Amino acid sequence: MSNKSMLGMTIFVASDVVFFTVLILSFVFYRDSLANKGLPNDFNSLDVGVTAIYSVCLYASSLTNWLASRSHRRGDLKMWRSWLVLTILLGAAFIYGEATEYHHLVSVDKLVPNTNLFGTSFYILTGFHGFHVTMGLILLAILLVLTFTATDTFKGGARAGAVEAISIYWHFVDAVWVVIFPTVYLWSLVGPSWAASGH
Amino acid sequence: MLTHSVFNPVSPQALAISNLFIFIMIVSLVIVLIIVGVLAYTCTHFRYHPGQADPPQTFGLTKLEITWTVIPFVLLVIVFAATMKTVSISAPPDDNALAGRTPDMTIVAHQWWWEVRYASGVVTANEIHIPIGKRMLVALQSADVIHSLWVPQINGKTDSVPGQTNMVYMEADRAGSYESACVEYCGDGHSRMRALVIAQPLAQYQAWERQQLATPPAPTGLAAEGAKLYQQFGCQSCHAASIGPDLTHFGSRGTLAAATLTNTPAHLDEWLHDPQAVKPGANMPNFHLSTKETRMLAAYLESLK
Amino acid sequence: MSVIPTKRPEKAPLVPDLAEPLPWLYKDDGLISWIGSTDHKQIGIMYMLTTLVFFLIGGLEALVMRLQLGAPDNHVVSPQAYDQLFTMHGTTMIFLVIMPMLIGFALYFVPLMIGANDIAYPRFNALGYWVFLFGGLLLYASFIGGGAPDAGWFAYAPLSSDFKFTSNLGMDYWGVGLLTTGVGTLGAAVNVLVTILTMRAPGMTMRRVPLFVWMTFINSILLLVAIPALNATIAMVLFDRLLHAHFFDAAAGGQPLLYQHAFWSFGHPEVYIMIFPAWGMISEIIPVFTRRPIFGYAAIAGASVAIVFLSAVVWGHHMFTAGMGHPLDVVFTISSMLIAIPTGIKVFNWTATTWGGTIQFTTPMLFVLAFLVQFTIGGVTGVMFAAFPVDWQMEDSYFVVAHFHYVLFGGTAFGLWAGTYYWFPKITGKMLSETIGKWHFWLAVVGFNLTFMVQHILGFLGMARRIETYPDLPYWHLLNLVSTVGSFVLAIAVLVFVWNIWVSLRHGEPAGNNPWHAWTLEWATTSPPGVHNFEQVPPIRGRRPLWDLSHPDNQDWQHGEGGKGI
């Protein structure tokens, strides 16, 4: 990877992994805490099924993102744009889903960061991930606009590195969710260790 | 100079640590002297003289480099072995040692004083008595932020962390009064959160214990007036609820304000008059007492032997 | 980028004429060009000057602290003010002085040393500097914005994370300020790493790059691991403070020790981040003033790589007193003792370089010699802490304060001074005065050691750190007074240094391209370099291209040094 843009983005992404690792470890550390008992927690508040649907949107957006890269490398401007649009729509669907989930958790389950340890560690982890997704959507949107207004910039494969770099970022954001979804949501199906059954 | 330092230990734990420390310092001193010595030699024997040609351009000497990798490694293995030996003597109790044993005392750290509760029922603050020769098991807790009680001549420190209980041993092999302080920064009163550990022969310790468990004598005269004021101002609402130090036997203590002042009527007067002037940031409110009121209260408190 | 002649042409200029002169600070039209600059050299200089100013501020904070501690029961400042002073002193020196100053030198010299004409992302580099400056100003705005941070530079929870335990909003500034400066720091790390990986001149293989470049390379990796850990920790603290969350709230099941684990995962790599570039400078300077190659290049580079891995598994040695449990205590003791070995190897190699050389006692070399002794002292006290029973006694006492000032001031700061005297001619085209430099050196050595040597003893005697007053126990007053006097001698040394810069900028002897007859690529261009660094670099077949050029019959690669590659 001798292209500077791609190398730089890869390095940045690698360091961001450390950031998420600390937050994931904190979530895992507090997940079985007795302090969550009797209050909203992962077992009784999270809707895994609905979140799974939005997760599939995010994972699919990685596929469309890869297809967009492939079209770009082949010089197929029209398909490149189409796949980019689809990627953005799927990513936006994920954000929409997360927003409605937050809304439900706050208004119905009464779960906010200061409710308990679950609220604290859940919101920081998924919140920062959602923030990263949003930044990615902005990057993709800027790229999409540029494919319309500045087609000359990309002529002859110029700026390919920068385009790939954005793609790397989007894949990273997806990869983090590949870890978060099972850790937070799938694990919640099992229930905390202090619950023999139910809440 | 080192009479009141970690190098004048009064317990088996502190002695073991002191010996380890001195051993490592000697090894370290040798290394520093070697470096200083070599540099002193090279700086005198290999000086540049104007016009001098370049010295031989050598790049390293693998055998030498391996030697000075292996020797430090061996030294460290020795230091590690010495460390583990010291740990076996000085370490806080592990789960095995604790099995079935209740702590002899529990120390709860507060901003900015030490609450001391003995298994025998004695409750006091800032002044910790132990009998000579007995290895006391001490539970450390905190009511607010992280604190750390350090008695250099008796043992290394273990922190008082809110939400967990840490266990340490406290033992002394001779009588004495040992300076102690909070060493984990805990806010504005950190500098003035000290304590005294008083090691006594068993007989004296037991006498102290009896005195602490007995009801203090009924106050008379000025002290009785002070007792009435004590009720009136509702002092017990903090001082009996662990918000402030327990004062039941205040008159028996050698110091006040977390061992930062000696317990004299004059100092007590100063404190009652304006706690924040003595200890900025102290949680005790200023009751704006008149001199007459502080004298009465002081008399009462000093009568609580 | 560069043209490598296979045979040195007869009349080709080795050092190009300046295409465009580098703007000077005191030229009239200069200032605007500096503000809009994306040149790595100008940005490097801006980092260096900004951090020098923060160094003076942090130093002033220290002087006030030493004045307060000069006598027991002193009333120079209140406890609240003192708590803000020591928090800001630590935060300033670490985040606004040492880290960015080392970054400034890296940004300036890494491209030059590898034969590149700029850094990988020039505009991002500029952004990084301004964001860093903004973060620093934000931190200092706290003094007038509700009170400066007062929970200590490492801000243990729950003291830092719960409003009811701190007396002002300062910790919010601490969190947001450090998140902000972190952007600049992280950006510089990415920039330097990509530059080293992709922009080396042909022939400049990784086995031939100067040790300063190796150290900066490793430093960037450490930064990329450490800064995100710090960001996550700060995020958790701000969550607790601003959203009343419960990460470290014991009453709600939170654990203060989680903070310490997360923080020191940043904090330990951080201390290596604060020394690595200085080690790089030492490695460059010793050979030049002993007129011979560094002893054991591969060992020094290899030991540094070993330290990267080891530094990731020693963080618990900051928590020996917290009650982690025996097994963890033992693990961290082993790793902490092990890390002494690669560090020791470096000291031995540097010392061995002086053997059989011809030593020139220039000001940079004097600072290097002091570094070697002082850093070793700081290093051995570090090994004492690795033995955890000793740590149980000495942790949180003035012995710790002495230890880290010996490595960070006696080590890093002296290394930085050596680097400044060495590279000032290249940056400015003028020499720093040797006479004033020697005054600076001796005042610094006396002042530094007077200040901090006695603090070891205060630690033995039981003096806690972060206290603004102490009881009149035997010798406490005397030792503290000696330390205070030393700090003022050190302050004078710093003023002499600043004066040296000021005077030399105006009347310094012109330096020429290579006043020290050194051998790495930065000396193969003008002083200061033109905007485009090099038009032509000398052939690179070993670690000392300029030595090879001037000694065609005795080139390093003929002795097998520097590996293969064009």
Please report the pLDDT score of residue A198 as a whole number. Answer: 45
Tokens of residue A64, six digits: 């469309």
Measure the CA–CA gap between B54 and B56, rounded to whole angstroms: 7
Is the separation of the CB atoms in C138 and C313 below 8 Å? no
**Does residue C19 register a pLDDT over 80?**
no
Measure the CA–CA gap between B281 and B256, rounded to whole angstroms: 16
Which percentage of chain C shows pLDDT scores above 70? 94
Top residue of B161, B180, B270 to mutate, by most chain C CBs within 10 Å, is: B161
Tell me which chains share at least 3 CB pairs under 8 Å with chain A: C
Please report the pLDDT score of residue C159 as a whole number. Answer: 94
Please report the pLDDT score of residue C197 as a whole number. Answer: 94
Q: Please report which residue ranges of chain A form alpha helices under DSSP H.
A: 4-31, 42-45, 48-74, 77-107, 117-149, 160-180
Which chain C positions have a beta carbon within 8 Å of B58's beta carbon? 292-293, 295, 356
Closest CB to B24 among C151, C390, C397: C390
Q: Could you read off the pLDDT of C288-330 as tens digits, one per residue?
A: 999 999 999 999 999 999 999 999 999 999 999 998 888 999 9
Please report the pLDDT score of residue A196 as a whole number. Answer: 55
> Do A and B have ≥3 inter-chain CB pairs under 8 A?
no
Average pLDDT over residues C468-475: 94
Q: How far is A93 from chain C (nearest CA, A)?
A: 27
Measure the CA–CA gap between B270 and C397, rounded to whole angstroms: 30
Q: Within 10 A of B131 (CB to CB), how many other CB atoms are there?
A: 19
Q: How far is B154 from chain C (nearest CA, A)?
A: 10
| CATH numeric code, A48-189 | 1.20.120.80
Please report the pLDDT score of residue A44 as a whole number. Answer: 81
Measure the CA–CA gap between B12 and B170, rounded to whole angstroms: 10
Q: Could you read off the pLDDT of C199-231 as tens digits, one per residue?
A: 999 899 999 999 999 999 999 999 999 999 999
C253–A2: do the CB atoms touch at under 8 Å? no
**Does residue C398 register a pLDDT over 90?**
yes
Q: Is A141's Cβ below 8 Å from some Cβ in C?
A: no
Average pLDDT over residues A76-84: 93
Average pLDDT over residues C113-120: 92
Contacts 24+ apart (CB under 8 A), B267-273: B268/B294, B268/B298, B268/B301, B268/B302, B269/B294, B269/B295, B269/B298, B272/B297, B272/B298
**Does residue A159 register a pLDDT over 60?**
yes
**Does residue C26 register a pLDDT over 50?**
no
CA angle C463, C471, B196 (to 5 degrees): 80
**Does residue C25 register a pLDDT over 70?**
no
Which chain B positions have a beta carbon within 8 Å of C388's beta carbon? 83, 87
Which chain C positions have a beta carbon within 8 Å of A15's beta carbon? 186, 189-190, 224-225, 227-228
A35–C246: do the CB atoms touch at under 8 Å? yes
Q: What is the mean pLDDT of chain A?
A: 90
**Does residue A167 register a pLDDT over 50?**
yes
Please report the pLDDT score of residue A41 as a whole number. Answer: 80
Q: What is the mean pLDDT of chain C?
A: 92
Q: Which amino acid is at B145?
A: V
pLDDT band at C21 (very low <50, low <70, confident <90, very high): low
From the options 3.40.50.970, 3.20.20.70, 3.40.50.2300, 1.20.210.10, give the CATH code of C30-550: 1.20.210.10
Which chain A positions have a beta carbon within 8 Å of C255's beta carbon? 29
Nearest to C317 by CA among C332, C337, C296: C332
Please report the pLDDT score of residue C167 as a whole number. Answer: 67
Measure the CA–CA gap between C240 and C249, rounded to whole angstroms: 8
Please report the pLDDT score of residue C558 as a whole number. Answer: 85
Average pLDDT over residues C488-517: 96
pLDDT band at A133 (very low <50, low <70, confident <90, very high): very high
Top residue of C183, C185, C194, C218 to mutate, by most chain A CBs within 10 Å, is: C194
Ranking B185-194, C9-18, C72-81, C253-262 by mean pLDDT, the lowest is C9-18
Q: Report chain C's terminal Cα–Cα distance, integer Å.
A: 16
**Does residue C441 register a pLDDT over 70?**
yes
Closest CB to B28 among C380, C391, C475: C380
Average pLDDT over residues C368-391: 96
Please report the pLDDT score of residue A42 as a whole number. Answer: 75
**Does residue C7 register a pLDDT over 80?**
no
Is the separation of the CB atoms in C248 and C161 below 8 Å? yes
Nearest CA in chain B to C166: B187
Which chain C positions have a beta carbon within 8 Å of B49's beta carbon? 358
Please state whether beta strands B127-131 and B194-200 pair in parallel, antiparallel, or not at all (unpaired): parallel
Which chain C positions have a beta carbon within 8 Å of B189's beta carbon? 79
Look up the pTM and report it: 0.94
Top residue of B2, B3, B5 to mutate, by most chain C CBs within 10 Å, is: B5
Q: Where are the beta strands (DSSP E) in B97-184?
A: 105-110, 113-118, 123-125, 127-131, 136-142, 147-150, 158-160, 166-170, 176-182
Nearest CA in chain B to C478: B1
Query: Can you tell me which residue has the tokens 């030059």?
Result: C112
Please report the pLDDT score of residue C22 as a whole number. Answer: 54
Please report the pLDDT score of residue C29 as a whole number. Answer: 57
Measure the CA–CA gap between C246 and C233, rounded to whole angstroms: 13
Q: What is the dihedral of CA C100, C103, C105, C109, to 10 degrees?
A: -160
**Does residue C563 register a pLDDT over 50?**
yes
Measure the CA–CA gap between C177 and C88, rounded to whole angstroms: 12
Q: Is A7's Cβ below 8 Å from some Cβ in C?
A: yes
Q: How far is C177 from chain A (nearest CA, A)?
A: 18
Average pLDDT over residues A81-89: 96
Average pLDDT over residues A63-89: 94
> How do the pLDDT tens digits run along chain B, 305 residues long?
888 999 999 999 999 999 999 999 999 999 999 999 999 999 999 999 998 899 999 999 999 999 999 999 999 999 999 999 999 998 888 777 787 889 999 999 999 999 999 999 999 999 999 999 999 999 999 999 999 999 999 999 999 999 999 999 999 999 999 999 999 999 999 999 999 999 999 999 999 999 999 999 899 999 999 999 999 999 999 999 999 999 999 999 999 999 999 999 999 999 999 999 999 889 999 999 999 999 999 999 999 98
Measure the CA–CA gap between B189 and C165, rounded to whole angstroms: 11
Please report the pLDDT score of residue A1 as a whole number. Answer: 43
Please report the pLDDT score of residue B94 as a whole number. Answer: 78
Measure the CA–CA gap between A12 and A8, rounded to whole angstroms: 6
